[in-house]
Amino acid sequence: MRVIIFDFNRTIYDPDTQQLIEDAELMLQHLTSQGFILFLISRAEQGREELIESLGLRRYFKRIHIVQDKVQQDFAALIDNKLIDRRTSFIIGDQVKKEIRIGNWLGLKTIWLRRGKFADELPEADGEHPTHTIESLNGLLSIVR
């Protein structure tokens, strides 16, 4: 089974403009049509579940995990399944010190969406280096083929 775990803020949704990131929905449609199982993880903020619902995102994700603070165990709980092909499964996020570090710890391929607020927060520790770096969601297409 091929999975992709998406971070919410600044990966799918831009809290500064209060809109989906450009091409986010198109990319989610494409990935599900290619047979990927999608998961979404987000920090718990007031109105977060309602926001995800109003954006129409629930239909793309097998599971949406809203947590207090994104830690390794939260991500591991999403993919606690021996059927996952770790060679063709990914975590995508905008922070090397959070999603990328955790994805590497889990043994998944990692994709750093290097844009916005954390674009200049470069990897410092060994576990913070992404497998791939993209500057827009369109860059996913060449990676996940």
- Residue 117 DSSP symbol: G
Instruction: Supply the range of the domain harboring residue 18.
Output: 3-144
Dump the DSSP string for 28-52.
HHHHHHTT-EEEEEEE--TTHHHHH
The reported pTM is: 0.93
> Residue 14's domain is classified under what CATH number?
3.40.50.1000
Q: Which tens digit of pLDDT belongs to each residue from 9-63?
A: 999 999 999 999 999 999 999 999 999 999 999 999 999 999 999 999 999 999 9
Structural domain count, the chain? 1
Judge contact between 8 and 113, C-beta under 8 A.
Answer: no
